[in-house]
C-alpha cells in the first residue's frame, strides 16, 4: 500500500520527529511511505482568519502535491479537517478543481484514523510504563469525527497507566491565529487546560495535533511543570522500541 505523508507546515518546521514516528510506524505495517516535496500548508491559517482567496491559492499547492497519491496520511486532525471540511467549499465555483479537491478528501486521513480505520490495527504491541493523560483535539473530534481511534490505540498499550483529563473535550485555546489575536481569551483557556493536566498527576500528556500540544506544552513550560508532551505517534513508536 502506497502512502504519502502530509507532514503539515507546523510539524515540518517545529516537530520533524513526529512525522518520523508516523513514517516508521506506517512502514512497520507494510506501507510504502513517500513524501511529496511540493507540499507546504493546508491553507487553514488564512482561511480561519477570513482570507479565503489567499487560502485557496495555497490549497492548490497541496492538491497538486498529492494528485498522484493513493493514500495521504497526516499527523494532524486539524489540517486534515481543513481539507475534508472546507476544500470542497473553497472550490465550489471551479468544477475542475472541485473534483480534484474531492479526490484529495477521499484519500486523506488523520494518523490514528488511518491506522484503525484503514489498516485495521489498534494494538501496536507497545509498552509504555508511565502515567499518561490524553487531550482530544477539537478538529479531529468535531470536523473529522475521530473520537474512538486514539483511545483504541492508547488502551492497547501495555504497562501504561491512563488517567482521564478533566473536561478533556474543552478546547485548549489554541485556535491558530486566535491564540495571538485574542491572546487574553486564549490565555484563560490554556491556563485552565494546563491546570487540568497537572491535576491528573500524569507524567505524559499525549495528543494527536501538534498545534494543541504546542499550546498546552508551551504553557506547561512557562509554568515550569515537568510534564512530557508527546504526539500519539511518538508514544506508540517509543513504546514499540522499548518492548
Partner 1 sequence: MSGHGNTAVDERIGTGLKSRTRHALSDEFLRKAVAFTTDKLKSGRLQAMDTFGDWEAWRERGKAIRSHTIDNLDYYLGQFADNVVKGGGHVYFAKEGKDAVRTFMDIAERNKAKLVAKGKSMVSEEIHLNQELEKKGIDAIETDLGEYILQLARETPSHLIIPAIHKNKQQIAKLFTDASGEHFEPETKVLAEYARKKLRNYFLEADIGLTGCNFGVAESGSITLVSNEGNGRMVSTLPKVHVVVMGMERLVPTFEDLEVVLNLLARSATGQKLTTYTSILTGPKASGDLDGPEELHVIILDNGRSEQLGDPIFQEVLNCIRCAACLNVCPVYRHVGGHTYGSVYSGPIGAVLTPLLQQDMKEAGTLAYASSLCGACYEACPVKIPLHDMLVHLRHRKVKMKLTALPERVAFKSYQTIFGNITLYKLATKSAYYMQKPLVREGMIKSGPPPLSGWTQSRFMPMLPKQSFRDKWGALQQELARKRKEGGKA
DSSP β-bridge partners for residue 109: 73
Report the nearest approach of partner 1 to the CB of residue 131 (Å): 23
Q: Which of residues 94-123 bind partner 1 (CB under 8 A)?
A: none
Helix, strand, or coil (residue 40): coil
Q: Which is nearer to partner 1, 103 or 121 (CB)?
A: 121
Q: Which is nearer to partner 1, 37 or 164 (CB)?
A: 37
Q: In the structure grid, which three cell numbers stand for residue 11, read together?
A: 510539524
Backbone φ and ψ of 103, nearest 5°: -65, -40
Going 154 to 160 to 161 to 163, the CA torsion angle's sign is: negative
Candidates 25-33, 66-74, 107-115, 200-208; binding stretch for partner 1 (CB under 8 A): 25-33
Cα 189 to chain centroid, rounded: 20
Query: Which residues contact residue 189 at a Cβ distance below 8 angstroms, ignoring those fewer than 6 apart?
Result: 170, 171, 172, 173
How far apart are the C-alpha atoms of 221 and 214, rounded to whole Å?
10
Binding to partner 1 (CB under 8 A): which residues in 197-226?
Answer: 214-215, 217-219, 221-222
Q: Which is nearer to partner 1, 89 or 161 (CB)?
A: 89
How far apart CA 121 and CA 162 sit, in angstroms, is 20
Q: Which of 37, 93, 96, 164 binds partner 1 (CB under 8 A)?
A: 37
Give the nearest distance from C-beta 159 to partner 1 in angstroms: 18
Helix (H, G, I), strand (E, B) or coil at 229: strand
Considering CB under 8 A, how many residues would be counted as binding partner 1? 75
Q: Using CB under 8 A, pick the residue from 1, 2, 32, 68 that binds partner 1.
A: 32
> What is the full DSSP assignment across 14-25?
H-HHHHHHHHHH
For residues 137 to 176, the per-residue mask of contacts with partner 1, x marking binding by CB under 8 A and - elsewhere, is -xx-xxx-------------------------xxx-xxxx
Burial of 219 by CB count in 10 Å (0-12 exposed, 13-18 middle, 19+ buried)?
buried
Q: Which stretch binds partner 1 (CB under 8 A): 104-112, 157-165, 186-194, 198-206?
A: 186-194
Rg for the chain, CA atoms, rounded = 18
Output 107 or 142, the one with its CB closest to partner 1.
142
Which span sits near partner 1 by CB under 8 A: 47-55, 66-74, 96-104, 149-157? 47-55
Q: Which is nearer to partner 1, 161 or 241 (CB)?
A: 241
Q: Which of residues 57-86 bind partner 1 (CB under 8 A)?
A: 57-58, 60-61, 85
Q: Site for partner 1 (CB under 8 A): which residue of 52, 122, 127, 156?
A: 52
Amino acid at each position: 500500500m502506497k502512502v504519502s505523508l502530509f507532514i503539515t507546515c507546523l510539524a515540518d518546521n517545529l516537530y520533524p520527529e513526529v512525522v518520523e514516528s508516523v513514517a516508521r510506524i506506517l512502514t512497520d505495517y507494510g506501507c510504502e511511505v513517500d513524501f511529496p516535496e511540493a507540499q507546504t500548508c493546508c491553507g487553514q491559517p488564512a482561511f480561519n482568519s477570513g482570507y479565503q482567496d489567499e487560502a485557496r491559492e495555497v490549497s492548490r499547492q497541496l492538491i497538486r502535491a498529492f494528485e498522484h497519491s493513493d493514500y495521504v496520511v497526516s499527523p494532524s486532525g486539524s489540517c486534515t479537517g481543513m481539507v475534508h471540511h472546507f476544500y470542497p467549499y473553497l472550490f465550489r465555483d471551479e468544477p475542475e478543481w472541485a473534483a480534484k479537491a474531492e479526490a484529495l478528501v477521499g484519500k486523506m486521513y488523520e494518523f490514528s484514523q488511518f491506522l484503525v480505520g484503514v489498516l485495521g490495527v489498534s494494538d501496536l504491541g507497545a509498552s509504555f510504563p508511565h502515567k499518561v493523560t490524553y487531550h482530544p483535539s477539537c478538529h479531529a473530534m468535531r470536523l473529522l469525527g475521530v473520537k474512538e481511534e486514539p483511545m483504541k490505540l492508547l488502551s492497547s498499550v501495555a504497562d501504561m497507566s491512563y488517567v482521564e483529563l478533566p473536561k478533556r473535550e474543552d478546547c485548549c485555546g489554541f485556535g491558530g491565529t486566535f491564540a495571538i489575536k485574542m491572546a487574553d481569551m486564549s490565555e484563560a483557556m490554556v491556563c485552565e487546560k494546563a491546570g487540568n493536566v497537572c491535576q491528573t498527576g500524569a507524567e505524559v500528556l499525549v495528543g494527536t495535533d501538534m498545534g494543541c500540544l504546542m499550546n498546552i506544552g508551551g504553557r506547561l513550560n512557562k509554568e515550569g511543570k515537568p510534564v512530557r508532551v508527546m504526539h500519539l505517534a511518538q508514544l506508540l513508536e517509543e513504546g514499540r522500541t522499548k518492548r
